[in-house]
Structure 1
Amino acid sequence: MKPLIISAVALAVLTACGPQQSEQKTTTEQTSAEKQPADLTGSAFNPNFRDYLKTIASDEFEGREPASAGEEKVVSFIENHFREWGLKPFDKEKDSYRQPFPLVKIMPYKVSDMSFSGENAPETMNYRTEMMAWTMQVTEEVDLSDSEMVFVGYGIVAPEYDWNDYEGLDVEGKTVVMFVNDPGYATQDPELFNGNAMTYYGRWTYKYEEAARQGAAGALIIHETGPAGYGWGVVAGGSPVRFDLKRENNNMDRAKIEGWITTESAEALFAKQGMTLEDARKKALDKEFEAMPLNAQASVSVKNKFEFLDTNNVVGYIEGTKYPEEHVIYMAHHDHLGTDPVREDDPIYNGAQDNASGTAGLLAIAEKFAQQPAPERSIVFAAVGAEESGLLGSAWYADHPLFPLAKAVGGINMDVMNVYGPMKDLVVVGYGNSEMDEYVKPFIDEQDRYLTPNPTPEAGFFYRSDHFNLAKKGVPMLYAKGGNDHITKGKEWTEEQRAKYVAEAYHKPADEFDPDWDLRGTQQDLSAFYQLGRSLANSRDWPQWAEGNEFEATRKETEEQRK
C-alpha cells in the first residue's frame, strides 16, 4: 500500500488532540476521499519545498561557508521569507531575525611529530600518518614538553552508569590516553551503557572536554575504525583548519594538545608496558579499573595562525496564544563547506542534501504554520550556522536561546532529508532516547509507515548534529530522516543509493540539486514533523527522556523552572 498523506480535514482533527488521542482515531473514521496516496509531483505538504531546495543549493550561494558572501545570501533568503510570512523576529528591538555569533578560525601551519622520553618511551610518531595533533587554544604556539602519559581507559565520568575512569586520579599537566567509543560498544552488553549504541560518553568531543575538566595538558584518543565509525583517513586526510566559538578566555581552559594516535601507534605504546592493545582494553573494561602510568613523557608543538569572524543564526517564531514562553523548536543548519579554489572542475560544495534540504524543510514548515491559526504554545524556527565547523551555531543558540530552554517542550532537527522517494519507514536516530518517538508515531501510523532505529547506532550519529546541543540542555529532540524501506524498490535499492551518496557526494562538490529527485518522501516526513509540532504546541504535554538516559537528569532539573 502506498503511504498516505493526511488531508486538511484529517489534519485539523489530528492537530486538535495530543498523540494519545490521535492514536485512538482509526482509519475507518476517514472517508476514502480523505485518504489519498502520495502526490506524484512531490508537493503534497508544501509545493514550494522543491524551489527552496533548488535555490539554496544553487551555485549562487557559493557553498554557504560561515562568514562568507554565500552565507550572507542564504541568511538573507531565510530572513526575507520569515518577514514575508509574518514571523516575529529574534531581536525585536532591531527588528532582526539574525542572531550573530563570533567565531575563531584556527589554522595550524606547523605541527611537529610527537616524540617521547622516559623509561618506556616508544618511537617518534609521525604527524598525520601515525598521529594527529592540534590545539583549540587561541594562541600562536603551544608546546607540550615532557608531559607524563597516563592510560585512563575510556576517559569517562558517568555517574548514571556508575563509571569514573578518573576516580582518585590527578592528571594536572599530564597527557591522558584513552579508547574511543564506550564500554557498551566494546562488550556488546545491552546492560552496560547502551550496548552497541554509542552514548554521549563515547564521542571524541566529550573525551577531550572531560580531559580538560580534569586538568590534562594533552588528550590522545586511540583510533579504531569500528568503534570510531570511520577510518584514519577521515581523521588525518582533511584540512587541519578548525573553527570554534570566540570565547573571552581564548579556550585556555582546553587541553594544550588534543589528538588521535593510530591503532598501530597504540600497540607500540602498550608493548613498552609488556601489554597488547587487547590487554589494555580488558583492563579498561574492568569495573575495578585504575588508571595506569605509561612511564613515558610526550612532547609535541603546534604553531597557529587565527582570525576572528562573525556569522549568523536566523531565528523567527510564531507566538503562542496562551503560553508564549513554552515553545516547540524546529532546527536545521544552513551552512556548508563553501568553495575550494584549488579545484578547477567544480570548486563549489553546494551541500544540496547536506543541508539545503533541511533548511528548505524548515522553510516549508514555517510557511505552513504561518498560514494557520497560531497554536497555544510558540513555535520557534532556528536556521543555525557553522554546523559543519563543530555544531557551533546551535551551541551558541543553546547558550543564548530566544526563550528559556527550561520551557522548550521538545524539538525536531532536520539534517539531510530524503530525496529517494516515498518510504515505508521513518528512521529515528537515537531511537528510544526519549518520548518524542512515541509522540511522532501516530502521525507516521497515519501514513501507513513504521518507525525504525538507525541501523548503525554504534556510529553515534545522535551526537553529530545540531539537536545534540539542545539535548545537553535537557530538551527532548527528535532527529529522524527518510527511511530505508522504499515503497516499491525495497531496502536493498535504498541502501545502495545512500551508500552511493556517501561515497560520491557527501561533503564533496557532487552534492548538487538533481531535478530528477523524487521528493515525495520528504513531503511525507515534513507532514509528520509539522503535525507533531502542532500537536505538542496545542497540548499541555512535556515529553521526557527515557529513564536512565544521559540527559534525563538535566530535564528533571528544569521542572521547577517551568512552574
Structure 2
Amino acid sequence: MRIIVPLCAAALLLGCNEHSESTPFQAKFDEQLFRQDLKTLSSDAFEGRAPTTHGEQMTLDYLSAAFKRIGFAPAANGSYLQKVPMVSYTASDDEQVTLADLPLKYRDDIVLNSRHDVSEVAIDNAPLVFVGYGINAPEYDWNDYQGLDMRGKIAVILVNDPGFAAPDSGKFAGKAMTYYGRWTYKYEEASRQGALGAIIIHDTAPASYPWSVVEHSWTGPQQDLAGDKKDYRVAVEGWMTKDAATQVFKKSGLDLHSASERAAHGPIQLPLEQTASIHFNNSAVYADSYNVVATLKGTAAAEEHILVTGHWDHLGKDDTLEGDQIFNGAMDNASGVSGMLALARQFVAAANAGQPLQRSVTFVVTTGEEQGLLGSRYYAEHPLYPLANTIGVFNLDSTNIFGRTKDYTIVGKGKSELELYLQKATSDMQRIAKAESHPESGGYFRSDHFSFAKFGVPAVFAGGGSEPVDKTTADYKQQILRLEKGCYHNTCDEYHEEWDLSGTFEDLQVYFNAISLLGNSQARPGYYQGTEFYQLRPESGISLK
C-alpha cells in the first residue's frame, strides 16, 4: 500500500487540508532562553547530573517546572516523573587483575565491573578464550561461539564488527557498524553463551573514542535497571587497552594483529592457553531515578503520539580527580535537553496561534542513557502511551555548536520512512540530507531512539552537518573543534559563551517542521525492507508529494 501525504501551502501544520489558505506557523526560537537552560543545566551546581544524586533532583525540579510553565501536561498520573527503578554497582578501586601472569593496572590497563549484587568478585585461574568479535549472527552466517563451551571461561573480544576491519569483504554492513559491534551486544551474547566473563579489547579507531572515555565512563558507580533478571549475566565485564591485550597475546605465543585479521574474515575461537585471576570488592545500592514525561495533547488523533527524546543525565562528579571534578555535560546532553524545551515552546506557540497538531506530541527526557539507555529502555518496556500508537521518535543528543551547514546529518540513514519527513523539511530549507560521515561509530545504536527501534517504532537521530555554509563558519568550526578536543565524556565538556548556535536553531527548525508534518498526517511510517526492524513494523509505502 502506498500512502500519499498531500503537501499544501500550510502543509507543515495543516497538511490535512490540501486547499487551506492558512499561513504555516513559523517557529521563532529564543536564543536567550536556550542559553539560559543550557548554562543552568550544565552548571557546577547540578554536579554533572548523575542519576540518583542531588544533581538529579535539581534537574527533575528544573524540567518539571519548565514543562509546566511552557504548557505541556504531566503524563505520569498527574506527575511529570516516571519512576525508573535502578541499581548502582560499584567495584572497588583496588582491583587486582592478572591476565596471563601479567599484573594489569586498574584504569591504566583495564577496568572491570560486575553487575551482580555480590560483595566480592573472586575469580582464580579462569581460562581466556579469544572469540574474535564475539558475534552470533545467523543472518550473516556468522557464529564465533559455534560449538564452544564457555562455562567457567572469560571471552576476550574485539570492538566493533568484521565489516570495519574488512569493509570490502561484503561482510556485515562494511564500514557502517551493525548492532553486533556495540559493547552492549557483546556482553549480552557472552552472557547467553554462559561465559564467566567478557573483556573487550579497546582500539580507538573501531571504538570511535579514546581510552579516556572508557576510563571515565566505566569507573565509579555503574547503573542498571533494577528488578528480577531472568537471563544470566556474566560475572565480570569490562575493557582492556590494546597494549595490554598485545602483551597477553604475546605471552600466549600469539600476535594480536594477526589474530585480529583472521577474526575479520571468519569466525574464530582461539584458546589463549592462559588464565585470568580477578579480585575486587563490589557493592550494590538500589534507588529510583526518573524520566521526565510531558505531553501536548493533539486534536483529531490525540491517542496517537509522536515522541521527542533526549537524556538529561551525564557522568556526575569524581572526587578522586585533582582539579575539576565535575562532568558538566554541556554538549552531552544539556544542549539536547535545552533543544527539547525550545521545541516544546514552539509547539505550544503554534497551538496558541490556532495551528495545533492533530496528533499528540510527548517529550520523554530520559535518565541513565550514559549507562546503557536505561531510561528509554524502561519507557519502551513500560510505555505511558501504547507503542502501537507511537507513530515515531525524534531523538536529540547534543546539538550543533559549529555553525550553520549546507547539509544535514541523519544518523543511520536508510532505516525507516520517518526519514522522509526530515528529508522534506531539510529540502524546504535548501539543505541536503546525508548519512553520517563515520557510520563505523555505530551512532544509530548509541542513543535513546534505539530503545524504541528494538520494538519496531520508527526512530531517528539527526542534526548537524559536515559542510559549513561559508569560509567564516568553517574557520569558526575549526576553532571550536580545537576547543572541544578530548572533551567528550570529560570534565571540559562545559558551556562557552562564544558558541555559535545558529546551526542549532536551523536543526531544531528541521525537527519542528518534520514533526509538524507527521503530526497532521494519517500516515504510519515503518522500517524499510532489509533493515533489522522491518519485520516489527514494515514500511507502508509513504510518498510525500
SS at match of 1:105: strand
Alignment match of 1:233 (pick from 195, 208, 212): 212
CA distance in 1, matches of 2:324, 2:241: 33
1:260–1:344 distance in 2 versus 1, CA, 3 Å: closer
SS at match of 1:296: strand
Q: CA deviation at 1:150?
A: 2.4
SS at match of 1:101: strand
Q: CA deviation at 1:315?
A: 0.2
SS at match of 1:522: helix
Q: Which residue of 2 aligns with 1:449?
A: 431
Asked whether 1:44 is paired with 2:28, we answer yes
Q: Do the aligned residues in 2 keep the contact of 1:136 with 1:251 (CA within 8 Å)?
A: no
Q: Which residue of 2 aligns with 1:99?
A: 82
Q: CA deviation at 1:180?
A: 1.1
Q: Do the aligned residues in 2 keep the contact of 1:105 with 1:241 (CA within 8 Å)?
A: no
Q: CA deviation at 1:244?
A: 1.9
SS at match of 1:553: coil
CA distance in 2, matches of 1:111, 1:212: 25
Which one-letter code corresponds to 2:110 in the other structure?
A: M
Alignment match of 2:281 (pick from 303, 327, 336): 303
1:378-389 aligned at under 5 Å gives the runs 378-389=360-371
CA distance in 1, matches of 2:408, 2:40: 26
CA distance in 2, matches of 1:513, 1:153: 41
CA RMSD after TM alignment: 3.3
Q: Which residue of 2 aligns with 1:65?
A: 50
CA distance in 1, matches of 2:393, 2:493: 27
CA distance in 2, matches of 1:269, 1:504: 28
1:97-496 aligned at under 5 Å gives the runs 97-115=80-98, 121=100, 123-189=102-168, 191-236=170-215, 240-249=219-228, 253-271=232-250, 274-287=253-266, 289-340=267-318, 347-371=325-349, 372=351, 373-489=355-471, 492-493=474-475, 495-496=477-478
Q: Do the aligned residues in 2 keep the contact of 1:91 with 1:99 (CA within 8 Å)?
A: yes
Q: Which residue of 2 aligns with 1:514?
A: 496
CA distance in 1, matches of 2:209, 2:30: 36
Q: CA deviation at 1:458?
A: 1.5
Q: Do the aligned residues in 2 keep the contact of 1:426 with 1:483 (CA within 8 Å)?
A: yes
Q: Report the number of matched residues.
A: 527
Q: CA deviation at 1:74?
A: 2.3
1:253–1:125 distance in 2 versus 1, CA, 3 Å: same
1:519–1:269 distance in 2 versus 1, CA, 3 Å: closer
SS at match of 1:220: strand
Q: CA deviation at 1:556?
A: 4.5
Q: Which residue of 2 aligns with 1:90?
A: 75
TM-score (norm 1): 0.84
CA distance in 2, matches of 1:149, 1:382: 42
Q: Which residue of 2 aligns with 1:55?
A: 40
SS at match of 1:114: strand
Which one-letter code corresponds to 1:253 in the other structure?
A: Y
Gaps of 5+ in 2: 1-6, 541-545
Asked whether 1:76 is paired with 2:71, we answer no
SS at match of 2:92: strand
TM-score (norm 2): 0.87
Q: CA deviation at 1:97?
A: 1.0
Q: CA deviation at 1:303?
A: 0.9
Q: CA deviation at 1:59?
A: 4.3
Q: CA deviation at 1:533?
A: 1.2
Q: Which deviates further from its counterpart, 238-247 or 417-426? A: 238-247
Which one-letter code corresponds to 1:79 in the other structure?
A: S
Q: Which residue of 2 aligns with 1:530?
A: 512
Q: Which deviates further from its counterpart, 73-82 or 263-272? A: 263-272
1:149–1:63 distance in 2 versus 1, CA, 3 Å: closer
Q: CA deviation at 1:328?
A: 1.1
Q: Do the aligned residues in 2 keep the contact of 1:318 with 1:374 (CA within 8 Å)?
A: no
1:552–1:501 distance in 2 versus 1, CA, 3 Å: farther
CA distance in 1, matches of 2:132, 2:235: 20
CA distance in 2, matches of 1:247, 1:354: 25
Asked whether 1:542 is paired with 2:521, we answer no
CA distance in 1, matches of 2:437, 2:55: 35
- Residue by residue over 1:170-193, the C-alpha shift from the partner in whole angstroms, topping out at 9 and shown as x without a partner, is 322321122111011010127321
